[in-house]
Chain A
Amino acid sequence: MGDVRSMLTTYRHLVGAKIRSDWQYRTSFVRYLLSQTVVTALDLAVILVLSEVVPSLGGWNLSQVAVLYGLTTLSFGLGDLFVSQVETVATHIQLGTFDRFLLRPLPTIVQLPASEFALRRVGRSIPAIITLVVALSMAEIDWTVDRLALVPMTVVAGTIIFGAVWVVTASISFWAVGAREVANSFTYGGGFAHQHPLHVYSRWVRTLLGWILPMAFIAYVPAVHLLEAPNPLGIPSWLALTPPLVAIAAVVVARTVWRAGIRNHQSTGT
């Protein structure tokens, strides 16, 4: 416990150092923050327009879709804020600067996101929070204690699952430096697909994204239970509780892959 606390303290200091460094380039900081907020807000607008045109997307009404959207985007945004910086490992390996992290008495998986923390990425989460809160209040949810607990649980588990996917895809760099673009399209692509009800997709896409990739658990399965929404796939409600379990499994996998990557780390000449 004391160990985790002191690690959090160190994390906080590293993040603070990065924010102070970034602040020296503050115009680009503000520009990025604004553009991220606008982009995410536009995403939302697209969903709204779509839902106007197609009044019920796979049998879900607007506020239900918005809940799904909010849950997913918030998880994605938080993962983006706290974990996505692991993708900088590719650049660090290429420049030889990754070695520095390996020389410090702290797991690289904690150091890297902390040292590359980008406050401007908050821009993704702000509209997501607003959407989620508004949508939840409009969705006529029958609030019980377990449904109430489901919301933060889903967001936290979702953040962890997205984070784990990021770690796994970033790990590719240990074997093939320069593969960053591949990793990127994978995570960002996954994030977008999950903002729509799963069953409107064709069968194979559903199999791929829904069951092969554990990301389905981030929002769809809990949302079915939370909203008592149409459930043509017949997902049992107890499955709504699986996100934390999936998150734990995802962490185990991510940790294993990352460690294998570090063992395969080739460093650079000099």
Chain B
Amino acid sequence: MASTDQPAIVADHLEKTFAVRHRAGRLRRHRIEVRAVDGVSFRVDPGEMVGYLGPNGAGKSTTIKMLTGILTPSGGSLATLGLDPTRHRTELAQRIGVVFGQRTQLWWDLPLADSFELLHHVYRTDRRRHEENLGSFVELLDMSSFMLTPVRQLSLGQRMRGELTAALLHDPALVVLDEPTIGLDIVSKLAVREFLVNLNRERGTTVLLTTHDLDDVEHLCQRMMIIDHGRVIHDGGVAEFKSTYGTHRTVVVDLVDAAPPLDVLGTMVTRVDGPRQRLRFDRSTTTAAQVIAGIVEEAAISDLSIEDLVRQVYDAGG
């Protein structure tokens, strides 16, 4: 079956409703429905790297669980690598890699190396290919020092490198990552990002990831989808996103000491956290250079962040 042109994921009016029982009074029970995913449609092509964003409870994890066959959709249609995830779950499992940052895929009481060996049997991978992949992942993710440590004794960053390796040893065409950088320090985060970029570039692996760290998206993804209350409220290029929603920008100023709000022409101080101040300005009337010129004598400036832009979109969508 030629599948090179086949989309990696096609979701069409995808829905998931949970029935939640609430206690109301002593005996009565209310049954309420939570529409976790409420008519989501999108398509991901092979080789894409897509960020799937949204505030807590937006429906990101629920979408991913449907894509991977863990949950059966309540409505709509879905094809992952051309397969219906509910009906062909085990077949699909052979071809995708999944990481849930909050969960482990590894054998808790055994050395990390044992988990990889077991996965070789579970996925029935070719022995030579397995060794090849493992060798390169151990090197890229710098894991050799803790391969013989029981998983329960690994640090979060070490474990996450293990999780990534575990999800990729069988050469999946698509990897789905739910918060792969959660709780990681800067060093581990960079290692994970570099690794994913490399994976996408060298092997053409399709990547769909959720994160609350917008830096991840800026560094990794060409495209971002934003979901809120179970609906897609934005789907497009990351660069395009910045210019569409970026009529206002925020300059973050770190002063040496706490100070009263800065008074710079064309800006408004939106927040003061001790020595840190956020100055918002309209890009169409004021340039960043002008703002910077106004404050440059007294303060250092950190990088432009898209975090605030995303908050604007949440506000608009919610």
Contact indicator B118/A14 (Cβ below 8 Å): yes
Smallest Cβ distance from B161 to chain A, in angstroms?
A: 18
Q: Which of B82-128 contact A (CB under 8 A)?
A: 86, 89-91, 93-94, 98, 100, 102-105, 107-110, 114, 117-118, 121-124
What is the CA–CA distance of A21 and B107 in the complex, to the nearest angstrom? 9
Contact indicator A21/B109 (Cβ below 8 Å): yes
Contact indicator A102/B69 (Cβ below 8 Å): yes
- Size range of the chain B interface in the assembly: 20 to 34
CB-CB < 8 A to B6: which residues of A? none
Asked if A266 is at the interface (CB within 8 A of a chain B CB), the reply is yes
Q: Name the residue on B nearest A263 (C-beta).
A: B72
Contact indicator A97/B71 (Cβ below 8 Å): no
Asked if B18 is at the interface (CB within 8 A of a chain A CB), the reply is yes
In-complex Cβ contact of B122 among A99, A106, A270 (8 A): A106
Q: Name the residue on A nearest B101 (C-beta).
A: A270
Contact indicator A105/B91 (Cβ below 8 Å): yes
Q: Name the residue on B nearest A100 (C-beta).
A: B105
Asked if A10 is at the interface (CB within 8 A of a chain B CB), the reply is yes
What is the CA–CA distance of A263 and B122 in the complex, to the nearest angstrom? 23
CB-CB < 8 A to B69: which residues of A? 102-103
Contact indicator B61/A103 (Cβ below 8 Å): no
Asked if A26 is at the interface (CB within 8 A of a chain B CB), the reply is no
Asked if A91 is at the interface (CB within 8 A of a chain B CB), the reply is no
Task: Name A's B-contacting residues (CB within 8 A).
Answer: 6, 9-10, 13-14, 17, 20-21, 24, 96-97, 99-100, 102-107, 263-267, 269-270
Known: A10-B122, A100-B104, A106-B122. 12 other contacts (CB 8 A): A13-B117, A99-B103, A100-B103, A102-B70, A102-B89, A103-B70, A104-B90, A105-B91, A105-B94, A105-B123, A264-B72, A267-B71
Provide 8 A-B residue pairs closer than 8 Å at the C-beta atoms, listed in order of the A residue.
A10-B121, A13-B121, A21-B110, A100-B105, A102-B69, A107-B90, A265-B70, A266-B71
**A-B CB proximity, top 7 nearest:** A21-B109, A105-B94, A105-B93, A13-B121, A10-B121, A105-B90, A102-B70
